[in-house]
Amino acid sequence: MTINRFTEAQMTERGITATTIYNGFDVDEPPGDRAGTRAALGVADDERVLVHPVRAIQRKGVPAALDLAAALGATYWLVGPAEDGYGPTLDALLADAPVRVIHQPSPGTMADAYAACDAVAFPSTWEGFGNPPIEAAIHRRPVAVGRYPVADELRALGFRWFDPAGPGELDAFLRDPDPSLHDHNAACVRDHLGLDRVARDLQALLTGWVP
């Protein structure tokens, strides 16, 4: 079983039969605490915050996320630690950042992190799936997503995401938000990636296997 059709096709090329079942999400997760989380971070009420909810490794696109934050006039909040030897590179990037940087985990839950931010950065160059854009939809936040192969596969489900390399559209949205975009993306999660869908797919996969 794979979590994307890209990998399923790679398996097929190698003579391995695979079935794709996408990651599942709780579409009814309660909202986080915006005011309390921003206060804990020392963020002002009128301060624009771009959260990058990833661990810091090369393929997560920290430079692109910093560029996006600068273009938006936003504080850059990196939630995860450096891994895989990326620490020195990250230290240099953050030291030279043209924007305010917050590098720490969420003071509460990740729901609180999404509530506290104004937009989400996810300019990855490679992911096996990529949960943050889906979580952003659940928590009604706009997200800028990179062009890695599985992201294009998820876009085909109908998600409307912004381009990290074209910050003007995201900036315009933040200045004049359109709730219908959040309604649309939340519906895409519910229709294609909800936990009930995972249960149905697993039941169909296991039918005939379980005595």
User: Domain spanning 25-193: which CATH class is it, in words?
Assistant: alpha beta
Looking at residue 62, its pLDDT comes to 98
Residue 168's pLDDT is 98
Domain ranges of the chain: 25-193
Q: Which two tokens stand for residue 9?
A: 């096709």
Residue 205 has what pLDDT?
87
pLDDT block averages, 10 residues each, the chain of length 211: 95 94 95 98 97 98 98 98 98 98 98 98 97 98 97 96 97 98 97 94 82 63
The pLDDT assigned to 211 comes to: 63
> What is the C-alpha separation between 147 and 127, in angstroms, rounded?
10
- Model-level pTM? 0.94
- Residue 170: CB partners within 8 Å, gap ≥ 6? 68, 72, 119, 142, 144, 162
19 residue type, one letter? T
